[in-house]
């Protein structure tokens, strides 16, 4: 499914809403101009390889959200999110080799798991933080630099796509800098009324095109 579209969502009443589905939306930003090989701090032969890689190395903002755009309740709870058992993230994860998140998102993940952070697949994980000193420790790399400088540095090396895991404040900074190439959103048909938004105000209009829209609907679902 490409282009723009309308969707219909029916109300299933109060409570758990059994039978409600998970909608996976992929939206793409228009292709960007590539840097000149001469601008890469690499020998010309290596620069050509990196330039080719950078065509595919996108920043993908991917999260589960409520129908009204929240990634968590005001207290950080995500009990309204779920993942149908017939849905798998395997194809998406196969395109990723780097994780990026904000420090608050990391704190929530650590609280939910109750154990030290372990990178899925052992991939590189970068955490933006103003309170933690930059550097690598405990399987994470803390960074305190502008998103533009960070992304520019990553895109000078070959690799797969980069998964921006949130939260909303960091998403806003990336959108302000025009660095988000794709949105990968798992939308649950629940209105929670208030919470932590994925898209807090404070960035200019960004136009995306819908490139994929899939619905997974099962009663026997696993909670996130």
Q: Is residue 73 part of a domain?
A: yes
pLDDT tens sequence across 89-140: 899 999 999 999 999 999 988 888 888 888 878 899 999 999 999 999 988 9
Q: Is residue 148 part of a domain?
A: yes
Q: Is residue 223 part of a domain?
A: no
What is the number of domains present in the chain?
Answer: 1
CB of 67 within 8 A of CB of 188? yes
CA dist., res. 130 & res. 39, Å (int): 30
Indicate the pLDDT class of residue 21, thresholds 50, 70 and 90.
confident
Output the CA torsion 90→91→93→94 (10° steps).
110
- pTM for this entry: 0.80
Helices (H), 12-137: 44-54, 90-93, 103-113
Q: Is residue 9 part of a domain?
A: no
Output the CA torsion 196→201→206→208 (10° steps).
20
Q: Is residue 88 part of a domain?
A: yes
Q: Is residue 35 part of a domain?
A: yes
Distances (CA, A) of 44 to 16, 54, 152, 171, 223: 58, 15, 18, 34, 49
Q: Is residue 7 part of a domain?
A: no
Specify the pLDDT at position 119. Answer: 84
Q: Is 174 helix (H, G, I), strand (E, B) or coil?
A: helix
CB of 125 within 8 A of CB of 140? yes
Q: Percent of the chain scored above 90 by pLDDT? A: 55
Range of the domain at 207: 22-218
CATH classification at residue 131: 3.40.430.10
């Amino acid at each position: 499914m490409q282009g723009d579209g309308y969707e219909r969502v029916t109300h299933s009443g109060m409570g758990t809403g059994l039978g409600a589905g998970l909608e996976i939306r992929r939206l793409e930003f228009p292709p960007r101009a590539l840097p000149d090989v001469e601008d890469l701090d690499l020998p010309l032969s290596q620069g050509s390889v990196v330039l080719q890689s950078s065509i595919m190395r996108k920043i993908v903002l991917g999260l589960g959200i409520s129908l009204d755009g929240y990634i968590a309740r005001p207290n950080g709870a995500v009990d309204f999110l779920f993942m149908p058992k017939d849905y798998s993230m395997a194809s998406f994860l196969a395109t990723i080799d780097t994780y990026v998140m904000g420090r608050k998102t990391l704190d929530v993940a650590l609280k939910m798991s109750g154990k030290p952070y372990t990178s899925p697949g052992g991939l590189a994980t970068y955490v933006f933080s103003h309170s933690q000193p930059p550097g690598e420790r405990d399987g994470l790399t803390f960074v305190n630099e502008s998103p533009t400088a960070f992304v520019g540095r990553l895109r000078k090396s070959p690799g797969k796509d980069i998964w921006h895991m949130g939260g909303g404040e960091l998403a806003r900074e990336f959108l302000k800098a025009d660095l988000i190439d794709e949105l990968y959103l798992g939308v649950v048909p629940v209105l929670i009324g208030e919470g932590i938004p994925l898209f807090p105000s404070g960035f200019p209009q960004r136009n995306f095109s819908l490139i994929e829209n899939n619905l997974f609907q099962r009663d026997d679902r696993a909670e996130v």
